Amino acid sequence: MDIMRLTTLQSAMYSLIWEYVDRQQIALQALNHLRPDLVFFSHRTAADGESEDEAFLQEFIRLNRLYTHVAYNGEWDEWEYMIHGMGIRLIHTVTKQPIEWDAPNVHCFDCYWLVNYLEWYVAFDVEDEALRIIQSAYKNYQGKFRDFTFGIIDQLQRMGVLLRPNTDNWNKYVIVSADDYF
């Protein structure tokens, strides 16, 4: 895969995906603050041996008892939050920016949640070259924004810029750093 072979539109989407993935750090911080037991549990893998099961379970129970009182929705800093499964959805209280993420991989994103973020971003008046390119290309597209975005995501996956993680959730992708190829 050669990042230099990306079209202007693909490069713009790649840039916006990186921005979104970077913003997921906020979701990780929120979940670590509100429910660190869920982040801890999300790191459990089937490859962990039986000898680690008891220690892992005891630590999870300890953490869970400390944080189980935290409401599944509320406010954290300048964000409204809703905890779901092993993840969290954040909505900025002023800008209404959405960020949604599932633990444990902060470099993994859900394509539907990315679309929600991009729809917000496109409607928000921001001076951003990548966003301007996406807005301009979408004006010429005959269809839904989701389909437009998914089409570019599919191209990026076929080029090796996005990978599917080892999961049963086909909505998930991992973005590949350009540094991995140089």
What residues are paired with 90 via a beta bridge?
81, 99
- Spatial distance between the Cα atoms of 125 and 149, rounded to a whole number of angstroms: 19
Both tokens assigned to 163: 């990978």
CB atoms within 10 A of CB 164: 13
* Mean pLDDT, the chain cut into blocks of 10 residues (182 residues total): 78 96 96 91 63 78 87 96 94 97 90 96 86 94 96 96 84 84 38
Task: Determine the pLDDT at residue 93.
Answer: 98
Please say whether the beta carbons of 115 and 145 come within 8 A. Answer: yes
Domain assignment present for 116: yes
Domain assignment present for 50: no
Q: Which domain holds residue 170?
A: 3-35+70-181
Domain assignment present for 53: no
Task: Determine the pLDDT at residue 1.
Answer: 47
Task: Determine the pLDDT at residue 182.
Answer: 35
Domain assignment present for 124: yes
- Spatial distance between the Cα atoms of 58 and 81, rounded to a whole number of angstroms: 28
Is residue 109 left, alpha or beta, with left meaning phi > 0 and alpha meaning psi from -120 to 50? beta
Task: Determine the pLDDT at residue 3.
Answer: 53
- Spatial distance between the Cα atoms of 47 and 70, rounded to a whole number of angstroms: 30
Global pTM value: 0.87
Domain assignment present for 58: no
Domain assignment present for 59: no
Domain assignment present for 42: no
CA distances in angstroms from 127 to 7, 19, 20, 169, listed in the order given: 21, 14, 16, 34
Task: Determine the pLDDT at residue 170.
Answer: 86
Number of domains in the chain: 1
Domain assignment present for 45: no
Give the residue among 98, 90, 154 at the shortest CA–CA distance from 122.
Answer: 98
Please say whether the beta carbons of 79 and 30 come within 8 A. Answer: yes
Q: How many CA atoms lie within 13 A of 117 on its CB side?
A: 23
Task: Determine the pLDDT at residue 180.
Answer: 59
Beta strands in the chain (DSSP E): 73-76, 79-84, 87-92, 98-102, 108-110, 162-163, 172-175
Task: Determine the pLDDT at residue 56.
Answer: 81
